Amino acid sequence: MKKFLLTILLINCMLPALAFEDYMIISNSIVKSITVENNEILDAKPVYTIDNEKKIIILTPLKEGKTKIFITTIDSEKIIDVKITDKKTTLKPEEGFEYFEIDIPPEEIEIPEPPLVTGKEGGK
């Protein structure tokens, strides 16, 4: 009985983490600041790359609801409306940004073939 209750408890603790879709937002220009209207619903963090351009934002939904993300770039200030449900995260399209789901791999992955080695150095 203890194992059964422990299993149910573990499954119920994991379900909220598996329910939401994480997103990556890529900006056309450098992001200066990010503010979320309601931090209890959504967490938004910038990603610092090697070249330190700060164009990538990672969105992590925390619970269901509606909120807004205020993004200040070098060029302008944009507002992105976000709606989070238990199965889907919906972002209002905004010019200057591209959205990518992190949880689902891209449909078209092209893996190039290795180069063909010829001549003495290649062992033929």
pLDDT at residue number 109: 67
pLDDT at residue number 9: 57
Tokens found for residue 83: 């709606």
> Mean pLDDT over all residues of the chain?
80
Task: Name the pTM for this structure.
Answer: 0.65
pLDDT for 107 beyond 70: no
pLDDT digits (tens, 9 = 90+) for 6-20: 566 566 555 444 557
Whether residue 60 contacts residue 17, with contact meaning beta carbons closer than 8 Å, is answered with no
Whether residue 99 contacts residue 23, with contact meaning beta carbons closer than 8 Å, is answered with yes
Mean pLDDT of the 32-48 span: 90
pLDDT at residue number 15: 47
Q: In Å, how far are 6, 38, 40, 90, 92 from 85, measured between CA atoms?
A: 27, 15, 14, 8, 14
First to last CA, the chain: 66
pLDDT digits (tens, 9 = 90+) for 60-86: 898 899 999 999 988 889 999 999 888
pLDDT for 94 beyond 60: yes
